[in-house]
Each structure stands twice: as C-alpha cells, then as structure tokens.
Amino acid sequence: MSRKKNKNSIPLDFSEKLVLGLSNTILTIFALVAILPCLNLFSKSVSIGPAVTAGFVYFWPNGFQLETIEYVLAKTSFLTSLKNTLIITVAGTAISMFTTITTAYPLSKPDLSFRKLFTLLYVISMVFFGGIVPAYMVVHTLGILDTYWACILPFAIVQFNMFIVKNYFEGLPSEVMESSAIDGANDLRTLISIVLPMSVPVLATVALLYAVNYWNNYFHAMMYTNSTAMRTMQLYLYDIISNSQAFAENLFTTSYGGTMSVNVTTDGMVASAVGLSIIPIVLAYPFIQRYMVKGITVGSVKG
Amino acid sequence: MTNPIPRKKISLRRTLHNKLVHIARHPLLYLMLIPGLFFLCIYKFWPLYGLQMAFRKYSIYAGSNPMDSIAKSPWVGTKYFVKLFRSAQFSLVLKNTLIINGMKIIILFPVPIITAIMLNEIRSAMYKKVLQTTIYIPYFFSWVMIFGIFYSLLGSYGMLNTLIVKLGGTRIRFFTSTETFRGLLVFTEGWRETGYNAVIYLAAIVGIDTTLYEAAKVDGANKWQQIWHVTIPGILPTVVLMLILKVGHILDTGFEQVLIFYNPAVYDVGDVIQTYVYRLGLGKMDFSQATALGLFNSVVAFVLIVGANTLSHKTLHRSIW
C-alpha cells in the first residue's frame, strides 16, 4: 500500500464500521419497504388472471398479459378522469401561481403601507378554519358545484406557499430592484423582468407544491362534484377500489371484445388503474426531486 | 425641545400621509394585492361568517341561497353544543382522534430522525442518492393511490395473506378488523411521510459545523459519541420545533387518510372528528350539528397551534409565521 492512499482513506474503527453497516442495512430495508408494494402492484396489473385471483403474484409478473390495462383504458372512465385531473392541475397551478406571485411581491416590500395588516389577514386565515360545512355552503352559493372551478378556486391561494415565495423575494438584493426603478421601470415591469427571472427555483418548487396538491386532491373533488363526467382521477380510483366487487359483477354481464377474458380480474383492474396513475408521478419525479428537496428546506423552518 | 403631544400628532399624521404617498406612487403594487385578497375573503373569511350556523337552526332553503339562509335561520343558542357534548359519539371520535394521532407521534416521530442520521453516514454518494430517492417517493402518492397499493398488497387475496396462509396462519382482514385498523393507519402514514421528514432533518444535519466533528475526533470520540454529542444536539432545535408542530396539529391531521381507509366495520376505532363532521353534515344533512362540532375542532386546534407556535418562538426563537 502506498503512503498516499493510506493518507486518503484512514481505516475505519469499530464504531464507524458498525454505524456504517447498520445504516446500510436498515436504510436498504426501508427502501425495499417503500418500493416493494409498488412492484407488487405493477406485477399484478400484467400477471395472468388466475394467478392474480389465487394471490400468487409477488414482485415479478406471473405470466404476462395486457388485457387488464386495455380494459381499464377502454371500458372504464379512466381517460375521462385523467382529462379532468389534467385540466384542473394545469389551470389550477396557473391561477394559483398568478395569485401567489401578485400577493407575495407587494407583501415582500418593507415600505408597503398597511403591510402588517395584510400579512396578518393571511396568517389568521392560516390558523382559523371555517370548517367543512360553511366551506361547502360558500361553493354552493357561488353556483360552481360540479364544475372545474369548485376544484380550483378554493386553492387559488395557499397561504403557506405564498409565504415561501414572499420570504424568497425578501431575500433578493434590493439594489437590483432599486436600479430598475431608477431606470424608469414600474413595479409590474420590475416584477416581470427582474424579480421573476431571479426566482425560478422557488417558483418551480411552489408550482410543484400546487400541482401535486391539485393532482392528488380527493376530498374537495368528492365534496364539490357529483356527476360522472366531472369525476377526477382520485375519485375514479377510489370508486374502482372500493366498488371492486360491483365491478366484478359487471365484468360477467358485459362482454369484453365479444368474449369474456379470464385475464381481466377485479384485483388486476385495481392494480392496473392505480399503476397507471403512478406513471405520471414517476415521469415527473426527476423534476420533483430537483426542486422539492430545496422547497422543503426553504419552507419548513423560518429562522 | 417641543411639547411631546403635538409632536406625536404631527408624526401620526405624517405616517398616514407617507402611507398615502406610497400608495399614490406605487398603485400597481396595491392593485396586485386584489386577486389574493379577493380569494382570501371568499374562500377563507366568508366560511368564518358561516360558522354562526352552529348557533342557529339552519335550514338550507330559508333564504335565496345557502349563505343567505344563514341569516334567515332562527337562533338557538348553544343547543347544538349541549347536544354534542352529551353524545357518546362525540367522546368516541375525540378519543379516536387523540389515540390515532398520538400513536402516530409516539411511534413515527423518531423514525425520520434516525433515517436522516443514517443517511448522513452512508459513504457512497450514489447509493445515498438512490436510498433517499426511493424512501422519498411515496410522499407524492395520493392517499387514494396508497389505499389502492395496500389494498392490493393486504387484501384477502393479496400477497401478504397468501404468505400468511402458506406459513400456516389464517387470513387477516387488515381493513375491516378493529384490531388491525389503527396499526394500518400508522404504518401507511409512516410509509408515506418518513422520506419527506427525513429530508428536513438531513438539511439540519448538513448545517452542522464540521469542525465540531473534528474537535470531537481529536478528543477521541468514537462514531456513537459523535452522533450523540454533536449530531443530536445540532438538530435538536429542528426536532423540538417539529414535535411542537406535530402536537399542535394533533386534532386536525390525518383526516383524508381516515376518510379513504375506513368503512363502517371499523367506525368504533377509526372514526375521527373530521370524518364524523363530514358524515353528519354532508351525509345526514345535519348542518348545524356538524358545524358545531367543526367549530369546536377549529377552536381547540387554533389554541393548540397558536400555543405551539408561541412555545417554539419563546424557547427556540423560531416560528412558523
């Protein structure tokens, strides 16, 4: 062994080895616990029907078929609910970002008149809730029950997200904004051409927080919509899981492509539907991973 | 030296004047505030006005629209609160809420802390990244998706029950048995949240001054002693803050999870305040009674959250707002 190598890698003592070994083992178990249920689900969605009903699917497909996934896509309202959720997520995130930015920017100005009062309003609404029933009555009164608006507008501004953006704006160097004002730019111009380009990471984080919230929302969609045409992804998934027995009966009364396939089982359908809904999240994950970690640390604790 | 009283008056007037000048010079800033305030008033403050339903015998058709009906419904004082506090269902849902969220805090709170400490010990940067990414991903699944995943895994003919039968046991009905339901809630909560919370603690660990570790090593501290005397004290403020927040939110968390996971077979152990409010209000249309319970929940939650924040502000000089 050369001297140089020895210097760079000091041999580990017993306690270091033990901690390293324990950490590796326990965290590997944790990672398996996180991922194996998902593998089981994906395997179930493409395994042959008899294996699924008998419970003989573990972490690898038992046989292979795509009929269940085809059935879910063609014969259930998966695509309608996907469309609804996409509309709500895209439109909702755009509206929320607009409201969040236009609120956070003025509130980040230390010399804004009545700044404390405005901020206090947002803080109060964060800690005191009207509750489920009054919120429902408001949406009912506005006449937007069973529309996309009912799933979007209650989240037009989430106070917590607004404060993340506001704190970030406050941390930007004020000289840049001042020099822009001296150059004759008004507040809107400064916001658009100076502040926003400097805030891309935090804006991406908050946009993600909003998008995940819209995408995953179950309760509000359930409370505020009732028609099948308005059903969102999460409502559809809940229906298919909790009514899988009713679906089973349907499977026998309606024919699939002329003949009933043994491969389309209720458990397989649940697995396929949930599996399909996981795919967009997995695809967006590199992006989520990049901005979310930063976002949590920005948002969780205010020094 | 001038007399202090007129000076105060002048300065007051001057502040007001300055405020108006600022508004006149930056009209766009104030216009920008409008959309946010508009939504805040409609979706956050208007429901607060609706809370008086708890003190009225609310009839949804009393007025021209549901919010108008509130003012048209007769006052009944605290009738619904008296009825509520006397009902057996109230103590049941309060007890369940405290037990379920208490179990979650006691069992789950240390897990992400230990996870973060262990993640920090992993030497290979790539393997560390793989572990972190994998443990973190369930946080982005909705509760319905997690319900689907575990239903598929733990259902009567799911993989776990197949294994149990193979090993000579009998099938367990995880979702409909009163013995397993709370455990299921705690486990799935841990499954979803561990990675997310670990990231928060990991950020705190990374912030610890590395010279402290070197000093400890020079003093002959082994790895355990370094973790015990450097890492843990270093992240203690974050730990305490998180614990205070968790306790502050003990009444108002976990609602959606329960709503999705529970079923009539496990109401005795799983029904929590918010799910009961929901069934009472939007299921049975007993709007006033549901609002009364919701208001009770909001008031206690408010006291707990503000108390928790004050406590963390006083002890740690950190707060959430």
SS (H, E, C) chain A: CCHHHHHHCCCCCHHHHHHHHHHHHHHHHHHHHHHHHHHHHHHHHHCCHHHHHHCCCCCCCCCCCCHHHHHHHHHCCHHHHHHHHHHHHHHHHHHHHHHHHHHHHHHCCCCCCCHHHHHHHHHHHHHCCCCHHHHHHHHHHCCCCCCHHHHHHHHCCCHHHHHHHHHHHHHCCHHHHHHHHHCCCCHHHHHHHHHHHHCHHHHHHHHHHHHHHHHHCCHHHHHHCCCHHHCCHHHHHHHHHHCHHHHHHHHHHCCCCCCCCCCCCHHHHHHHHHHHHHHHHHHHHHHHHHHHHHHHHHHHCCC
What pLDDT score does A303 carry?
33
Give me the pLDDT at residue B205, please: 93
B137 inside 8 A of chain A by CB: yes
Substitution target in B16, B26, B29, B303 with the highest count of A β-carbons within 10 Å is B29
Is the pLDDT confidence value at A12 over 70?
A: yes
Neighbours of B169 (CB within 10 A): 10
Listed range (A36-40, A227-231, A240-244, A290-294) with the worst mean pLDDT: A290-294
The model's pLDDT over A162-192, given as tens digits with 9 standing for 90+, comes to 999 999 999 888 888 888 888 888 999 999 9
The predicted model gives A239-268 an average pLDDT of 68
> According to the model, what pLDDT value does residue A128 have?
87
Cβ-nearest to A187 among B29, B45, B144: B29
Distances (CA, A) of B209 to A115, A117, B173, B205, B233: 36, 39, 50, 9, 12
Query: Which B residues in the span 11-70 are in contact with A, Cβ-Cβ below 8 Å?
Result: 18-20, 22-23, 26, 28-30, 32-33, 35-37, 39-40, 42-51, 53, 60, 65-68, 70
Distance from CA of B230 to the nearest CA of A (A): 15
A232-235 own/partner pairs: CB under 8 Å, 24+ apart: A232/A81, A232/A84, A232/A85, A232/A88, A232/A151, A233/A81, A233/A82, A233/A84, A233/A85, A233/A277, A234/A85, A234/B142, A234/B144, A234/B145, A235/A81
How many CA atoms within 13 Å lie on the side-chain side of A29?
Answer: 7
In Å, how far are A117, A153, B70, B255 from A144, measured between CA atoms? 31, 10, 19, 24
> Measured between alpha carbons, how far is B114 from B212 in angstroms, rounded to an integer?
20
Contacts of A271 in chain B (CB under 8 A): 148, 152
**Å from A34 to nearest chain B CA?**
6
Residues of chain B with C-beta less than 8 angstroms from the C-beta of A118: 33, 37
Gap from B149 CA to chain A (nearest CA, Å): 6
Angle at A96 between CA B23 and CA B189, to 5 degrees: 130
State mean pLDDT over A121-127: 91
Please answer whether residues A99 and B278 qualify as being in contact, where contact means their C-beta atoms are separated by less than 8 angstroms: no
Q: Would you state the structure tokens that stand for residue B321, as one six-digit string?
A: 């707002």
Q: What percent of chain A has a predicted confidence (pLDDT) above 90?
A: 62
pLDDT score at A60: 92
Chain B closest CA to A290's CA: distance in Å?
11
B77: DSSP letter = T
What's the pLDDT score for residue B261? 95
Inter-chain touch A20–B121, beta carbons under 8 Å: yes
Mean pLDDT of A251-255: 53
Query: Given CB atoms, is B215 within the 8 Å cutoff of chain A?
Result: no
User: How far apart (Å, rounded) are the C-alpha atoms in residues B311 and A264?
Assistant: 56
User: With contacts defined as CB-CB under 8 Å, which chain A residues touch B68?
Assistant: 141
Map residue B56 onto helix, strand or coil: strand
From A299's Cα to the closest Cα of chain B, the distance in A is 9
Chain B: nearest CA to A84, how far in angstroms? 16
Q: Are B248 and B304 in contact (CB under 8 A)?
A: yes
CB B294 within 8 A of CB B67: no
Taking CB atoms and an 8 Å cut-off, how many pairs form between chains A and B? 296
Residue of chain B nearest A301, judged by CA positions:
B320
Nearest CA-CA partner of A205 in A147, A251, A268, A161: A161
Give the best residue of B14, B137, B144, B262 to mutate against chain A (max A CB count within 10 A): B144
**Are B214 and B285 spatial neighbours (Cβ–Cβ below 8 Å)?**
no
Contact A302, A280 (CB under 8 A): no
Domain map of chain B by residue range? 4-72, 79-316
Q: Give contacts of A300 with chain B, Cβ < 8 Å.
A: 200, 203
**Contact between B66 and A141 using a beta-carbon 8 Å cutoff:** yes
Worst-scoring range by mean pLDDT, A22-36, A86-100, B5-19? B5-19
H or E segment at B39? helix B27-40
* Backbone φ, ψ for residue B302 (5° rounding): -60, -50
Report pLDDT for A300: 45
The band of A4, judged by pLDDT with boundaries at 50, 70 and 90, is very low
Q: Which two tokens stand for residue B6?
A: 């007129």
Q: Which CATH superfamily is domain A66-303 in?
A: MetI-like (1.10.3720.10)
Interface test with A, best of B129, B132, B152 (most A CBs within 10 A): B152
Contact between B256 and A218 using a beta-carbon 8 Å cutoff:
yes
From residue A163, give the alpha-carbon distance in Å to each of A274, A291, B182: 34, 17, 35
Q: Give the burial class of B88: count Cβ atoms within 10 A of its Cβ; 0-12 exposed, 13-18 middle, 19 or more buried.
A: exposed
| Interchain proximity A27–B135, CB inside 8 Å | yes
- The phi and psi torsions of B172 (rounded to 5 degrees) equal -105, 130
Report whether pLDDT(A6) > 50.
no
pLDDT at A296: 60
Report how far residue B89's alpha carbon sits from residue A150's, in angstroms, rounded to the nearest whole number. 31
What are the tokens at B38?
Answer: 């508009």
Nearest C-alpha neighbor of B147 from the set B260, B26, B276, B309: B260
Taking the domains of chain A in order of start, what are their residue ranges? 13-65, 66-303
Find the range with the poorest average confidence among A116-120, A291-295, B80-84, B177-181.
A291-295
Residue pLDDT tens, chain B, 321 long: 445 556 666 778 888 888 899 999 999 999 999 999 999 999 999 999 999 999 999 999 999 999 999 999 999 999 999 999 999 999 999 999 999 999 999 999 999 999 999 999 999 999 999 999 899 999 999 999 999 999 989 987 788 999 999 999 998 999 999 999 999 999 999 999 999 999 989 989 988 999 999 999 999 999 999 999 999 999 998 898 889 888 888 988 889 999 999 999 999 999 999 999 999 999 999 999 999 999 999 999 899 988 888 888 888 777 666
Distance from CA of A176 to the nearest CA of B (A): 17
Spatial separation of the C-alpha atoms in residues A161 and A165, rounded to whole Å: 7
pLDDT band, residue A260 (cuts 50/70/90): low
Residue A178 in tokens? 């001042």
User: Considering CB atoms only, which of B20, B140, B222 is closest to A13?
Assistant: B222
Question: Chain A contact for B297, CB < 8 A?
Answer: yes
Residues of B in contact with A53 (CB under 8 A): 157
Q: Which residues of B touch A215 (CB under 8 A)?
A: 142
A154/B43 Cβ within 8 A: yes
Instruction: Count other Cβ atoms within 10 Å, centred on residue A284.
Output: 15
What residues in B contact A57, CB-CB < 8 Å?
A: 159
CB pair distance less than 8 Å for B223 and A217: no
Query: What pLDDT score does A179 carry?
Result: 83
Higher pLDDT, A93 or B253: A93
Q: Test A187 with B39 for CB contact under 8 angstroms.
A: no
CATH superfamily of B79-316: MetI-like (1.10.3720.10)
Single out the residue of A198, B192, B11, B297 nearest to residue B2, CA to CA. B11
Q: How far is B2 from chain A (nearest CA, A)?
A: 28
In chain B, positions 67-106, which contact chain A (CB-CB < 8 Å)? 67-68, 70
Closest alpha carbon to B82 in B54, B116, B108? B54
Q: 10 Å Cβ neighbour count for B130? A: 15
Q: How far is A56 from chain B (nearest CA, A)?
A: 7
With contacts defined as CB-CB under 8 Å, which chain B residues touch A273?
148
Lowest mean pLDDT among A26-35, A185-194, A247-256: A247-256
- In 3-state terms, what secondary structure has residue B63? coil
In chain A, which residues have their Cβ closer than 8 Å to the Cβ of B167? Answer: none
Q: Amino acid identity, residue A202?
A: V
